[in-house]
């Protein structure tokens, strides 16, 4: 049995095409949707992500503004800029590209962004709303994962869902979103005993641990849906996920590729959050 590959690129295009109509409808009401992206320093991976976000804004019709700050920018300078953008009514979404240089506290920066403009959904107020099942914004990667699972036509309700990874950005919010869809959720991590046995229980497996090809096909339940959030570079510079794609394909029913799976969906969901922010701020 060969798994069906779920194309994040194709699904992201659908999401963005739908958002174009929303952006046009807002323009007709005199509202130009605007996302500000701040990048500090010259991390090459961050630059790629920021460029991809700008390209997606162009595709959807969202105005995008970039602030590229030097690696020696002080924490206070960044906080002052965020304060200015919080007060600017023409700005709907503020995104600070992580990681930040060591002189700047990521926690302080996340706390400084107005929760209504926090399109990454990292602010504790937005995290709390996710926990209580009443979110304004869904965190981008976990929300993209849910859409990819739903694209298979498989109902999450009642399924054994295993999330490998417990980061604040993916693992923890992912568990909450699966729970909100009535999945039975287990979170695993580096200290989980008999990790392979836990993974093998999964009807739906979300791998977000950041270790190249750590999960082999032998650890996957036959017929499972496998969503691979990992993006890792091998020594030969090849981009691979947390799941060994070739062996997993032999066992899974559906699987996402790396690249071209979760990545495009993360950016599509950022666009969705930015449009939602514009609507919330306009009282729509």
Q: Which bin fits 158, alpha (ψ -120 to 50), beta or left (φ > 0)?
A: left
Is 97 noted as a catalytic residue in this protein? Answer: yes
Q: How far apart are CA 205 and CA 251, in angstroms?
A: 12
pLDDT of residue 190: 84
pLDDT of residue 224: 98
Q: How far apart are CA 155 and CA 177, in angstroms?
A: 13
The tens digit of pLDDT for each residue in 116-170 reads: 999 999 999 999 999 999 999 999 999 999 999 999 999 999 999 999 999 999 9
Report domain extents, the chain: 30-114, 140-262
- pLDDT > 90: what percent of the chain? 94
Is 120 noted as a catalytic residue in this protein? Answer: yes
Q: Quick one: CATH architecture of 140-262?
A: 3-Layer(aba) Sandwich (3.40)
Q: For residue 45, is pLDDT > 90? A: no
pLDDT of residue 1: 64
Average pLDDT estimate for 248-256: 98
The tens digit of pLDDT for each residue in 131-145 reads: 999 999 999 999 999
Which of 53, 117, 159, 276 is catalytic? The answer is 53
Q: For residue 237, is pLDDT > 90? A: no
Residue 70 CB partners (closer than 8 Å, separation 6+): 40, 41
189 within 8 A of 144, measured Cβ to Cβ: no
Which of 22, 97, 117, 228 is catalytic? The answer is 97
- pLDDT > 70: what percent of the chain? 100
What is the Cα 19 distance to its own chain's centre? Answer: 17
225 within 8 A of 253, measured Cβ to Cβ: yes
Instruction: Say if residue 47 carries a ligand binding annotation.
Output: no
Of 214-223, 234-243, 249-258, the one with minimum mean pLDDT is: 234-243
63 within 8 A of 57, measured Cβ to Cβ: yes
Is 53 noted as a catalytic residue in this protein? Answer: yes
Residue 120 CB partners (closer than 8 Å, separation 6+): 95, 137, 139, 140, 270, 273
Q: For residue 114, is pLDDT > 80? A: yes
Which of 22, 117, 118, 120 is catalytic? The answer is 120
What is the Cα 223 distance to its own chain's centre? Answer: 25
pLDDT of residue 140: 97
pLDDT of residue 234: 86
Q: Identical fold at 30-114 and 140-262?
A: yes
Average pLDDT estimate for 34-53: 93
pLDDT of residue 90: 97
- Assigned fold of 30-114: Rossmann fold (3.40.50)
pLDDT of residue 151: 94
Q: For residue 250, is pLDDT > 80? A: yes
Q: Give the sign of the dihedral formed by CA 17, CA 121, CA 31, CA 85.
A: negative
Q: For residue 271, is pLDDT > 90? A: yes
CB atoms within 10 A of CB 217: 18
Average pLDDT estimate for 177-192: 96
Instruction: Say if residue 73 carries a ligand binding annotation.
Output: no
């Amino acid at each position: 049995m060969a798994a069906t590959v779920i194309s994040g690129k194709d699904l992201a295009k659908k999401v963005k095409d739908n958002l174009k109509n929303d952006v046009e409808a807002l323009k007709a009401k005199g509202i130009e949707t605007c996302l500000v992206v701040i990048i500090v320093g010259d991390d090459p991976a961050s630059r790629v992500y920021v460029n991809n976000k700008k390209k997606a804004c162009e595709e959807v019709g969202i105005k995008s503004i970039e602030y590229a700050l030097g690696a020696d920018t002080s924490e206070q300078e960044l906080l002052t800029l965020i304060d200015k953008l919080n007060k600017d009514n023409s700005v709907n979404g503020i995104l600070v590209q992580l990681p930040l240089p060591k002189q700047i506290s990521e926690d302080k920066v996340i706390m400084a962004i107005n929760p209504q403009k926090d399109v990454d959904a990292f602010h504790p107020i937005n995290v709390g709303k996710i926990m209580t099942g009443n979110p304004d914004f869904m965190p981008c990667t976990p929300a993209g994962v849910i859409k990819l699972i739903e694209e298979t036509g498989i109902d999450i309700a009642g399924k054994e869902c295993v999330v490998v990874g417990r980061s604040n950005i993916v693992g923890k919010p992912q568990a909450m979103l699966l729970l909100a869809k009535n999945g039975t959720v287990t979170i695993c991590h580096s200290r989980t005993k008999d990790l392979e046995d836990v993974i093998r229980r999964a009807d739906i497996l979300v791998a977000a641990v950041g270790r190249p090809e750590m999960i082999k096909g032998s650890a996957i339940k036959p017929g499972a849906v496998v969503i691979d959030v990992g993006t890792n570079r091998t020594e030969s510079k090849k981009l691979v996920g947390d799941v060994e794609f070739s062996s997993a394909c032999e066992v899974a029913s559906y699987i996402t590729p790396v690249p071209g799976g979760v990545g495009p969906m993360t950016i599509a969901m950022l666009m969705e959050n930015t449009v939602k922010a514009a609507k919330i701020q306009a009282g729509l």
